[in-house]
Amino acid sequence: MGLRLAVTLGEKEGCAMKTQSDQKVRVVSLTNLEAMCNRVSGVMCHRFKVTKVSRSRVHVTYSNEDEWATAHPMIAVYPCIPGYSGSDAENPRIILELLHVLHDNGNEGWQAFMPLTDCPTLWRSPGDDTWRTHAEVLCSIGKDIGCADRDRDTCVVCDLPLAHAAKMFQEGGV
């Protein structure tokens, strides 16, 4: 009876009883997701790997061996959007919002994928194909590296003046 009354009151006031949601969603390309998996793997034996890519879903397998070296893999299912046409058609965009966790034995498997979700933005160096965070880029950039071919003295990642970006990094703001 109480639920029915609440719905009736909501309808009388002109607002439906719907859940509100306003959030920013992180979207990464498949190449970025693979780099993120490589970056967070190996920490305390945790392993992440993209194992399946379909037109609308991407599967990422997580495993952490127990004391008997037995892996208990769980699989996160993420939605994806097909890549754009042309040279990027084979590089879909993955929405980092879990749809489902397969082989989750305690209904808390989503927590295993938090290091992947919380991985900082990675930038690929075109010269040597290494992936770095913004802070790592700032450490490697000097006046002689990265910006030498530019007319301006700005960070190649955030486009801030190098002096300001370096100061932010030293203060822990990057």
List pLDDT tens digits, range 73-89: 999 999 999 887 776 77
Residue 19 counted as domain residue: no
Q: Would the pLDDT of 28 be above 50?
A: yes
Task: Answer whether 50's CB lies under 8 Å from 33's CB.
Answer: yes
Q: What is the pTM of this model?
A: 0.71
Rounded to an integer, the average pLDDT of 88-94 is 87
Note down the domain range covering 112: 27-117
Task: Answer whether 99's CB lies under 8 Å from 19's CB.
Answer: no
Q: Would the pLDDT of 150 be above 50?
A: no
User: Are residues 46 and 64 part of one domain?
Assistant: yes
Q: Who has greater pLDDT, 74 or 132?
A: 74
User: Are residues 47 and 86 part of one domain?
Assistant: yes
